[in-house]
Chains A and B, each alone.
Chain A
Amino acid sequence: MKNKIINRRSFIKGGFGGTAATVLSLKSARAAGDFDHYPDSMGVIVDLNRCVGCRSCEAACNKEQGLPEPEKPFNDYSVFDAHESGGHGGAGRRTDETRYTVVNKYELPEIDHPLYRKSQCNHCLEPACLTSCFVNAYTKTPEGAVIYNADVCVGCRTCMIACPFYIPTFKYSSAFSPRIMKCIFCYDTRLKEGRPPACVEACPQEALTFGKRVDLLEIGRKRIRQNPGGYVNHIYGENEAGGTAWMYLSPVDFGEAGFDVHVPHEPVINFVRDFLSIVPMVLVIWPALFAGFHLLANRKEQNKHHHIDGGEE
C-alpha cells in the first residue's frame, strides 16, 4: 500500500455534499492510523555530539531555498546569545518566514563545551500538519519529504497549531501572497533526484547524516552502543509523534537540549479520532431520534388541543 495517502486523498477529491464528506472523513482518518509508511523513505539523523554550531547549514538552506537576507551574517555567532530577542520565550531562535532551519546553543553544566542543536521540519511519518489541513495542502512524498502547496492554502494556520514541533511558520508580512514557510527537505531541487539536502551537504561535521530512515535508526543505535556514556539511550524521532524522518542523538537528556520531551509517542491524528468516530453516529442517529421526539411531542400536543379547543396551527 505504498501510495495509500495519495490514493485515498485523490479518491476523495471528487467533490460531494457535506454529509457524505464527513462520513468519508471518518474513514480516511481511520486509514491514517493504519497507514504503513513508505519503507524506503529517506531521513536525516542529527548528532548533537558532532554539531559545532558553525551555521553552515543555515547559510546553505537560505541560498538553496531563496530565502530573504538574514539580519546578521551566518558567520556571526552572537545570534546564539540573543535568546530573548528570539521572541520564543527564551527557548532560543525558532524557524520563521525567513529561515527554515535554525541552530541554537545550549550551555549545560555537565558538559564542558556548549551543545548545538539544529531544528527544521522533522518530516513526520504521519504529519500533524498534513492530517489537520482541510484543503490538503500538504503531501508526504514516498521519498520522505512533507511538502506544501501554496496554491490551495487558505492561510488558516491550523497546521501551525497542530505541528508538535512548532515548525510551520506563516508569512505574516505579506497581505496579498502570504503562505506557510517551512523546510521541505529540499524536495524539488534535490531529494527528488536522490541528492542530499543542502544543509546536509554543507555540514562540515557530518552532524547531519542522510540516508534511508531504516538505516539511520541502525546507525543511531550503533553510535549509542559503541560510545557508552557518550549518548543517552534514545533516538529522538524514532517514535515521537508517531515517528519522524529527521531524528536526533544527544549526549544529554533531550529536554535539556531544548527538545520537547512531552511530544506524545503516537501520531497526532490519534487524539482526534475519538471525535471523528462519533460523526457518523450523529449523522445516522440524530435525524431518526429527533424526528421521533417530534412525533411524540406532537401527539401529546394534539391530544391536549383536542381536550381543550382543538389545535390551530
Chain B
Amino acid sequence: MLITKKRGIVWVVAMGVVLLCSAAGRALDQSDAPESVTIGLLEELYEPVEFDHAGHTEMAECSDCHHHTAGTVTQRWNCKKCHTNPLEGDTVSCADCHSPNRFDSQYLATLDNPELYHVEKPGLKGAYHLNCVGCHQEQGGPTGCEDCHAMTEAGEQRFNAGRYSPAP
C-alpha cells in the first residue's frame, strides 16, 4: 500500500481544521492560510513533505490550487460554467474533495450515478501531483520525484535504489 491511511488522515484532518478556522462566507485572506502543511500521503515510500504554503501563496493565486473554494473566482472556463459564486466554500482542504482511495470499488461505484458530472475528478495523490508538477513544469520549479520527496528505506527497497541498488 502506498498510502498509509492512519497518518495520512490525521494530517488531512489537521489541515482541514486549520483552514476552517477562518469564518465561512468571506474570501480567504492570504494571512488566513497556514504557514506550512505537512503532507504525508506517500509516507510509506517517502518522508513527509513540508509544504511551504505561505511561500506558495506569494507565487500563485489561491484559485490556482483551490479552484473555486477559496473565495476567489476560478479562471478555468469549464469550471466557471457552474461555479460562479466567488464566495469561499465550506471546505478548502484538498482531501475533502479528492479521495485518497480514488480507485477502490466503493469509490468507483459512485461513478455509476448518471447525475454525476465530475466523473473524473482525480484522487488526492493525482490532484496534488497534477497541480504541483504541472505548475512546476511551467514555472521552472523542481520536478524530479526526489526533489520534493526524500525516499524512506521502504522506498529504496521498492525502487531498488540507494542501499538496495542492484550490484553493478
Contacts and interface: CB of A to CB of B under 8 A. Distances in A.
B160 A70 contact: yes
Given A75-B151, A204-B133, 12 more contacts: A52-B143, A59-B160, A60-B158, A63-B158, A69-B160, A73-B159, A73-B162, A194-B104, A204-B129, A205-B130, A206-B122, A215-B111
* B: contact size bracket: 20 to 34
A44 B104 CA distance: 13
Best-buried of A200, A205, A206, A212 by chain B (most CB within 10 Å): A206
B120 interface: yes
Interface of B: 1-2, 42, 78, 102-105, 108, 111, 119-120, 122-123, 125-126, 128-130, 133, 137, 143, 145-146, 151, 157-162, 164-166
Contact of A195 (B104, B151, B159, B160): B104
A43 to B, nearest CB: 12
A225 to B, nearest CB: 10
Contacts of A195: 103-105
A59 B159 contact: yes
Nearest to A216: B120
Interface string A186-205: 00000000111000111111
Best-buried of B103, B104, B129, B151 by chain A (most CB within 10 Å): B103
Contact of B159 (A52, A74, A200): A74
B119 A218 contact: yes
A215 B143 CA distance: 31
B130 A212 contact: no
B101 to A, nearest CB: 9
A205 B128 CA distance: 8
Interface in A148-191: none
A91 to B, nearest CB: 24
Interface of A: 50, 52, 54-56, 59-60, 62-63, 69-76, 113, 194-196, 200-206, 209-212, 215, 218-219, 222-223, 226
A69 B159 CA distance: 10
Best-buried of A194, A200, A201, A226 by chain B (most CB within 10 Å): A201
B166 A204 contact: no
Contacts of B166: 69-73
Contacts of A215: 111, 119
A60 B123 CA distance: 18
18 contacts: A52-B133, A59-B159, A62-B160, A71-B166, A73-B161, A74-B159, A75-B146, A194-B104, A195-B104, A196-B103, A196-B104, A201-B2, A204-B125, A205-B129, A211-B111, A219-B120, A222-B120, A223-B120
A219 B130 contact: no
B66 to A, nearest CB: 19
Contact of A206 (B105, B129, B143, B158): B129
Contacts of B108: 210-212
A215 B157 CA distance: 35
B133 A205 contact: yes
B145 A201 contact: no
B119 A75 contact: no
B108 to A, nearest CB: 6
Contacts of B128: 204
